């Protein structure tokens, strides 16, 4: 089992132009990771056409491909949406740099299960393109979706080229226990985001609490059990870490949607916020420029780097424990 890292693990570095994609690939190799999962979704501070990957040019993609080969890493791609234009673009980019798995997710502004019908048709329609380039699509449980809903889509598509992406933490935003999601999703899973979460009180949030990312091994998700389930029941040959820290987000479904009805126990135990609330509030973590001074921002970036390094050691320890 090889272990890799997703670019979002350094999202602050990308947002504030302290790192580009080639820097990231080098840093991943220096830490010890054996692969990279590259996010091509534009966002605040990341306005190139390929997001954290930079400009959509042959020269840039050649450089990315060559840097990955230089360090002997595997590569995967992260995108979003299931429409033909989005997926064909991701397939083109993946093929160019030598990636054979693409993570995508359903775009929601507000949850609507009717979207699943179109998602299913979109994925059926892209199968021939996936076969042509020998690339798999992995549909993620991306905060809104519970495992049973995604499994229904994959089973209806019924293609070797379309499976699931298991995010170790995102089930919580849909009130689903990550261990239970792992049990259901494992046999369909082609790639992952390995991460850890806690629950934090927040009066400005939809339900009075938010899900908060923390470095792997410091939160309340039973990562040991989830990892073991994936090793024993999935076709995975790689585990990718996406350390969402510093990061907090709202619950996206109503309590009980995924089987959990309230916070307070086990995985959903309430913890203290990672940062002093008088300095920065939880829902400001992802875009801290709106709230903090340069000194605090520098500390958050150092925390992110330290967390990625600690996360690697924790993930490696699980690999050493369960994989021979």
What CATH number is associated with residue 17? 3.20.20.150
Q: Is residue 214 assigned to a domain? A: no
87-126: b (≥16 Cβ within 10 Å) or e: bebbbebbbbbebebbbbbbeeeeeeeeebeebbebbeeb
Tell me the whole-structure pTM to 2 decimals: 0.96
Query: Maximum distance among all alpha carbons in the chain?
Result: 54
What are φ and ψ of residue 200, in 5° steps? -125, 135
Is 35 in contact with 3 (CB distance < 8 Å)? yes
259 CB-contact burial (10 Å; exposed 0-12 / middle 13-18 / buried 19+): middle
226 belongs to a structural domain: yes
What is the reported pLDDT for 324?
A: 72
Domain membership flag for residue 297:
no
Count: domains in the chain: 1
| 250 part of a folded domain | no
Beta-carbon contacts of 87 under 8 Å, excluding residues fewer than 6 positions away, are: 79, 81, 102, 104, 122, 126, 129, 137
> What is the predicted pLDDT for the residue at 289?
83
The token pair that represents 246 in the structure block = 């510093």
pLDDT digits (tens, 9 = 90+) for 254-290: 999 999 999 999 999 999 999 999 999 999 999 998 7
Indicate the pLDDT class of residue 60, thresholds 50, 70 and 90: very high
Q: Is the pLDDT reported for residue 307 higher than 90? A: yes
Q: Is the Cβ–Cβ distance between 10 and 51 less than 8 Å?
A: no
Residue 169 included in any domain: yes
pLDDT band at 175 (very low <50, low <70, confident <90, very high): very high
Residue 40 lies in a domain: yes
The residue segments making up the domain with residue 74 are 2-195+220-244+303-322
Residue 155 has pLDDT above 90, yes or no: yes
**Dist CA 293 CA 295 (whole Å):** 6
Identify the pLDDT of residue 290. 77
What the block records as the tokens of 59 is 């020269």
**What pLDDT digit, counting tens, does each position of 226-260 carry?**
999 999 999 999 999 999 999 999 999 999 999 99
**Residue 176 above 90 pLDDT?**
yes
Q: What HEC string does 141-179 produce? A: CCCCCCHHHHHHHHHHHCCCCEEEEEECCHHHHHCCCHH
Task: State the chain's mean pLDDT as an integer.
Answer: 97
pLDDT for residue 133: 98
- Tens of pLDDT, residues 129-144: 999 999 999 999 999 9
Q: Is residue 311 part of a domain?
A: yes
Say yes or no to pLDDT of 117 above 80. yes
Q: What is the DSSP letter of 128?
A: H
Taken in order 284, 288, 294, 297, the sign of the CA dihedral is: positive
Per-residue pLDDT tens over the stretch 71-93:
999 999 999 999 999 999 999 99
Q: With a cut of 80, say whether residue 52 has pLDDT above it.
A: yes
Alpha carbon separation from 256 to 64, 144, 208, 262, 272 (Å, rounded): 43, 13, 15, 8, 24
In a domain, 249, yes or no: no
Binned at pLDDT 50, 70 and 90, residue 291 comes out as confident
* Packing angle of the helix pair 21-31, 294-322 (nearest 10 deg): 50
pLDDT at residue 235, rounded to an integer: 97
* Alpha-helical regions (H) of the chain: 11-15, 21-31, 58-70, 84-97, 115-133, 147-157, 178-185, 223-233, 294-322
Handedness of CA 212, 249, 154, 11 (dihedral sign): negative
Alpha-carbon dihedral of residues 246, 310, 220, 190, nearest 10 degrees?
A: 90
Distance separating alpha carbons of residues 270 and 276, to the nearest angstrom: 16
The confidence band for 47, taking pLDDT boundaries of 50, 70 and 90, is confident
């Amino acid at each position: 089992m090889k272990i890799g890292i997703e670019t979002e693990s350094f999202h602050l570095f990308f947002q504030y132009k302290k790192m580009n994609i080639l820097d990231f690939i080098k840093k991943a190799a220096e830490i010890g990771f054996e692969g990279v999962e590259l996010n091509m979704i534009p966002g605040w501070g990341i306005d190139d056409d390929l997001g954290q990957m930079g400009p959509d040019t042959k020269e840039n993609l050649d450089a990315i491909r060559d840097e990955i080969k230089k360090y002997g890493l595997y590569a995967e791609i992260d995108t979003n949406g299931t429409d033909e234009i989005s997926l064909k673009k991701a397939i083109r980019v993946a093929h160019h740099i030598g990636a054979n798995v693409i993570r995508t997710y359903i775009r929601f502004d507000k949850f609507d299960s009717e979207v699943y019908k179109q998602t299913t048709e979109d994925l059926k329609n892209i199968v021939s393109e996936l076969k042509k380039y020998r690339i798999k699509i992995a549909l993620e449980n991306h905060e809104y979706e519970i495992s049973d809903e995604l499994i229904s889509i994959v089973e209806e598509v019924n293609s070797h080229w379309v499976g699931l992406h298991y995010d170790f933490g995102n089930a919580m935003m849909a009130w689903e226990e990550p261990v239970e999601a792992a049990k259901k999703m494992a046999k369909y899973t082609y790639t992952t985001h390995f991460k850890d979460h806690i629950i934090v009180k927040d009066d400005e949030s939809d339900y009075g609490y938010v899900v908060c990312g923390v470095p792997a091994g410091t939160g309340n998700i039973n990562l040991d059990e989830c990892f073991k389930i994936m090793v024993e029941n999935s076709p995975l040959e790689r585990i990718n870490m996406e350390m969402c820290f510093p990061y907090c987000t709202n619950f996206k479904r109503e309590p009980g949607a995924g089987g959990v009805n309230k916070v307070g126990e086990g995985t959903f135990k309430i913890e203290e916020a990672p940062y002093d609330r008088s300095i920065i509030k939880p829902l400001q973590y992802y875009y801290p420029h709106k709230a903090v001074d340069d000194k605090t921002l520098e500390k958050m970036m150092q925390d992110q780097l330290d967390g990625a390094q600690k996360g690697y050691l924790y993930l490696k320890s699980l690999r050493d424990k369960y994989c021979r």
